[in-house]
Structures are given as structure tokens and as C-alpha cells.
Amino acid sequence: MSEYRDGPLQIAVSTNGQGPKLANIVRKHISENLPNGISEAISKVGNLRQKIRKIDSDYKSSSKRMKWMTKFCEDWSIENLQKLDDNVIEALLPYYEKQIVPSFETLSLNKECQTKKGQLILVGAGPGDPSLLTHKATKALSNADLVVSDRLIPLEIFSIVKCEIRLASAKSGTQKSTKSDESQEEIQNWCLEGLEKGKSVVRLKIGDPFLFGRGGEEISFFKKKGYNVQVIPGISSALSAPMAANVPVTHRGLSDQVLIITGQGTQGRLPQVPQYHEMRTTVVLMAVGKANELSKELLKNNYPNDLPAVFVENGNRPNERIIRSTVATLGEVVEKQHVIAPSTLIIGRAVNALL
């Protein structure tokens, strides 16, 4: 008998006494052609077998165990069998119960999902009145493990939140200033921390997250980190503030289009304003600090001097103020009336439609 041993693997070749030397040759040929790592793979499979026996020790299950183990050994490569450590075995056991043999790739993908099991929801808070949150937003806020937000959101909104709330020190989502970027980073890090702990994290943003709120940037950031983000829309101040001032942004005969712009475009600059069109209502967010400059820019683009305009300060909130102006007097009105943020400016013939 010519024998070969490597750990748990034993190969014995017999020629029934006819050619012991040939038995040696055959044994050598077999051992030289064994797959690399076979002995380690056998030990690991042995470990898996023991664990399966532990969770299903009933003698009546022996054919179930054998069937699954056979399929498993056939489906997995020797290379992957060598990777059968305790973690992989633990992930495999539920598949035995279902009598399914997953591929190694499926298993490692699932493991990755399990470690990244936190859930992120980007929620629009609306203009700041808790009763103007959508039902879906209210539900997400009350079910969250962590709510991450900034100081653009009035505190009343947080009254329905039962979990930890983290508020960035500066206002994020406004213009691209260093402070805003810092708080954006702070916010993203808090969200990641929560997600890595498997929490249900709500990232709450004023109005609608995608309108001048850097919501899209946040989604791209978390996508790169391996998280999918659910988005719950919110009522944007661009449309709710005009309603607070009783301005129908479109109105037959007065306005058949709406332009929404920011006063704080790229690097804090005003965006390019199109030529005046009498059938258009222009809504400007973040305009307070830019009222003078905006007024000049609008006049340059043929907006009439006396075209009506209105600032809605803290729209849909208890401290709401409606401040009337014209295109020519935007800067003057902001100064004299001490208009503060958050305010939305509405310009166009529709502003006076319901007066």
C-alpha cells in the first residue's frame, strides 16, 4: 500500500500485491495533481459540516444534510472553500435551512449589505410649519433613530422627533461659503456615523431638498459611500411663500411661466437673469443680501422700474411678514424695512393680481 497524507487528506493506493512500485508511481502522480490548498479546504468543510450537524442534529435529517453538503462542495471552488472562516460559515447557515447553496459572491455581497444596514432618508421639511410637513415626512421623522439637520429649520419642527437630533452649527445648503462647506461636512459625517451603526437616519432639509438645497450633492456623496438614499419631497418656499402673500405665480392673462432663481449662485454671485417677459413671475430665494445688486441687474434686463415685487419673510411661520416693493426699490425696502432671511422675493405682474 502506498500512502499519501496531508492534514485530514489521506490517499492510499493498492495494487493488490501485484506491483507495489507501480502503486508508488500512481500515488505520486495523484498527489502531484491535487489542487492547491485542498487539505485546508477539507478542514474548513469539516468545520462547516460540524456546524450544520449542530444546528440540525436530528438523525432523520441526515439525507438533507448530505444533499446540501454535496451540492455545496460541487458548487464552490477549492479557492473559495479555503475562505470558509467562522464569519462565512455563520452567513451560510441560514441558506442550509432553506436548502439553497449561494455563491461565494452572493454571500460576500450580502455580508457587505449587512455591515452597511443603516438607512438614510433625505426629507424635505417644507417652509417651517410642522403642519406643512407631508405625512410621509412626519412618519420618517417619528420613526428615525437619528435626525441630522441645520439651523435653517425652525425648532417647532423637531417637536415630533423622539430620537437624537444633531444640528450643524452653521447654516448648510446656502451659498458655497467655507462655513457652509464645513457644516455640510459635519452633517455628512454625522449621517455616516449613524449609518455605520445601522441607524435609520433622517437628513432634514428646509423646503424641498432638491431646490437650492444641495440635496443632489448629498445623494452623490452617500452613493459613493455605498448607501442608497430615499428622498421625501417637501413643499418648497419658492411656491409656498408666494401663496403666503396671496400671489398666484401663474394667473391667466398675467403670468404663464415661473422662473426660480437664487441670489447666491456660484461663488455667491447672482446667476444670469434673462430678459424681462411680461408673462413671467420671477421668484428669488436667498435674495436679501443681494437686493440692490439684483435690482440693478433686473433693470439692465428691461424689467420695468415699477414692476411689483414682494418679500415674504418667514413665510408660513408665526413671525411671517409681507413687505411690498417694486423692482427699482428692492435694496431700499430691504434696508428700511429691515428685511431678514429667510425671505423669498416674488416679482412680476401676478404679485398684484389679487389685491
- Name the segment binding ligand SAM (CB under 6 A); options: 35-43, 80-88, 159-167, 235-243: 235-243
Using CB under 6 A, which residues numbered 179 to 218 contact ligand SAM?
A: 206-208, 211-213
| Inter-residue contact 190 to 148 (CB < 8 Å) | yes
Check binding of 149 to ligand SAM (CB under 6 A).
no
Check binding of 308 to ligand SAM (CB under 6 A).
no
Check binding of 316 to ligand SAM (CB under 6 A).
yes
Minimum CB separation from ligand SAM for residue 305, in Å? 24
Cell numbers at 185, concatenated: 461636512
Q: Which residue's C-beta sits nearest to ligand SAM?
A: 207
Check binding of 312 to ligand SAM (CB under 6 A).
yes
Cell numbers at 196, concatenated: 455605520
Minimum CB separation from ligand SAM for residue 306, in Å? 24
Check binding of 325 to ligand SAM (CB under 6 A).
no
The site that binds ligand SAM (CB under 6 A) totals a number of residues, namely: 25
Minimum CB separation from ligand SAM for residue 200, in Å? 22
Check binding of 347 to ligand SAM (CB under 6 A).
no
- Name the segment binding ligand SAM (CB under 6 A); options: 84-92, 95-103, 236-244, 293-301: 236-244
Check binding of 317 to ligand SAM (CB under 6 A).
yes
* Placement of cell 417637501 in the chain: 234
Q: Which residue among 102, 128, 242, 308 contacts ligand SAM (CB under 6 A)?
A: 128
Minimum CB separation from ligand SAM for residue 204, in Å? 11
Check binding of 294 to ligand SAM (CB under 6 A).
no
Check binding of 243 to ligand SAM (CB under 6 A).
no
Using CB under 6 A, which residues numbered 18 to 77 contact ligand SAM?
A: none
Q: Which residue among 82, 149, 174, 183 contacts ligand SAM (CB under 6 A)?
A: 174
Residue 352 CA: distances (Å) to CA of 254, 314, 323: 10, 20, 13
Q: Which is nearer to ligand SAM, 229 or 241 (CB)?
A: 241
- Residues lying near ligand SAM in the complex (CB under 6 A): 127-128, 173-174, 206-208, 211-213, 236-238, 241, 285-286, 312, 314-317, 341-344
